[in-house]
Amino acid sequence: MAPLGPFEQAPRIAVAVSGGPDSLALCLLADRWVRARGGSAHGLTVDHRFRPESGAEAAQVKRWLKARGITHRTLRWPGARPVTGLQEQARAARLALLTGWCRRAGVLHLLLGHQREDQAETALQRLVRGSGIDGLAGMASVRLAMEPAGGGVRLLRPLLPASRDALIATLARWDQPWIDDPTNSDTRHERPRLAAALAQLGTEGLSAKRLTKAAARAAGDRSALDELCTDLLAVCALPSPAGFVILNLNVLRRAPPALAVRALGCVVTMVSGGAYPPRQDRLEHLARRLLDDGAKAKTLGGCRVVPQRDGRVVVCREAAGASTIQPINPGESALWDRRFVVSLGRSTGTGPFIVRRLGTDGLAQARAMARRESMPLTSDDIPAPARPALPALFDLDGPLAAPHLGFRRTSRHLEAGEVEFSASFRPARPLAPGLPATLRVLPLQDEDS
């Protein structure tokens, strides 16, 4: 745990524990570690309800942990079983439930039970998919899951150096049973197939231990590239509070091609609100087109990449991708399109109100209303490709407010004369990968806290 710090005094940690040997061993080990420091551990089990026995398994985990004095919560996914992409959607839902509980409970550290074989399978999976250095680095031992308000939960993987056999031996030494999930050996899914392939490759010398060492070396290379990429972005990228970025194409052309591709990936990821950059081959293709001949506008990863005549490039959200329609009530705040924190004032009438992309239709209506009320829009600061994807507040009569254009309309629904609506750009991932991340816990109780 020491390399994964810092930790507060008497740390409170949460452990994702399914009942399998890896996560159960992690929970027991973490409990011993945190008790020695005057803190506490909380076991969290996600019940997707995909299998009939999942509820009983979660109850069994609760009994095991209770017998050892560890608090436990079962988190249930309310959604229906997805028809496609089961594994991916289940992972995303599980992480959202776990980090959501941590946020509400004020817990900063969420421990995940991935171990050496998991890391090796991840590196192999990324190799098969043709990933670059980021993918080959595998899972990070520390990652920050950011929250819209600026805080976040630290995802920690302390067992990445440990083998599955060592964890099973630990449980056996403590007379602790565990649960075997049959989906972990179901070769209809990719991970079990990779595990079987890895066992075969081990006879040729490509063992899990060697793959994890290669991933660790790649992670070191990734850190060095991140610092260089941060330096490049500092001189070639101009981010806007309206959620787009302007790139200096001439500066990008003078950079090493690998860094230019990396910088482009950082920009696209931040602007789109995506969890991960686009695939490496697609990024490389777009970078070649831009750097070689300043190609026409392209779309990638939910963004539009639009070269300008003055040698700059506008990277903005693709309007079709910003399809979220977010109902909002007076006095509420919400996350819109994974990128903007939107807030509506309490004095803004009764609605109904929704937040959606401004769109070309809303932009035309806003312009017409602004002309009638002699209220010019401040659209000159925002390139035309970026305007349709701007967040805007709508009521039954059309657009009420588009803060980034300086547009506000008086509505018959409002008792006050003006709409109190704001939209703050707070992407989940920072533009520059080399910048340090900070955590905030609110409310701050005292100076020591």
- For the chain (449 residues), the mean pLDDT of every run of 10, in chain order, is 92 96 97 97 90 89 96 85 62 86 93 92 80 82 70 89 95 95 66 73 74 85 89 93 94 92 93 86 88 78 91 93 92 90 82 92 90 76 93 92 87 57 87 56 36
pLDDT of residue 195: 73
pLDDT in the model for residue 370: 83
Please report the pLDDT score of residue 144 as a whole number.
81
Per-residue confidence (pLDDT) for residue 186, from 0 to 100: 61
Task: Calculate the alpha carbon distances from 324 to 207, 339, 340, 381 in Å.
Answer: 45, 11, 11, 25
The token pair at 417 is 């004369």
Per-residue model confidence (pLDDT) at position 151: 60
At residue 52, the pLDDT reads 82
The pLDDT, as a whole number, for residue 184 is 64
CB burial of 66-92 (b: ≥16 within 10 Å; e: otherwise) equals eeeebebbbbebeeeeeeeeeeebbee
Q: What is the pLDDT of residue 74?
A: 95
How deeply is 188 buried, as exposed, middle or buried, from its count of CB atoms within 10 A (0-12, 13-18, 19+)? exposed
Supply angle C-alpha 167, 172, 174, rounded to 5: 100
Half-sphere exposure of 274 (CA within 13 A, CB side): 18
Contact at 8 Å (CB) between 110 and 102? yes
Residue 389 tokens, joined: 């994807």
Question: What pLDDT score was predicted for residue 295?
Answer: 64
Q: What is the pLDDT of residue 351?
A: 75
* C-alpha torsion 102→103→108→110, nearest 10: 30
Cα–Cα distance, 396 to 409 (Å, whole number): 13
CB 408 within 8 A of CB 419: yes
Q: In angstroms, how far apart are the furthest CA atoms of the chain?
A: 79
* Cα 132–Cα 96–Cα 41 angle in degrees, nearest 5: 105
* Contact assessment for residue 113 and residue 17, using Cβ atoms and an 8 Å cutoff: yes
Distance CA 296, CA 307 (A): 6
Does the pTM exceed 0.75?
Answer: no
Q: What is the pLDDT of residue 228?
A: 92
Q: What residues pair up with 342 in beta bridges, in sequence order?
A: 334, 423
Phi, psi angles (nearest 5°) of residue 336: -110, 130
**Contact present, 428 and 243 (Cβ < 8 Å):** no
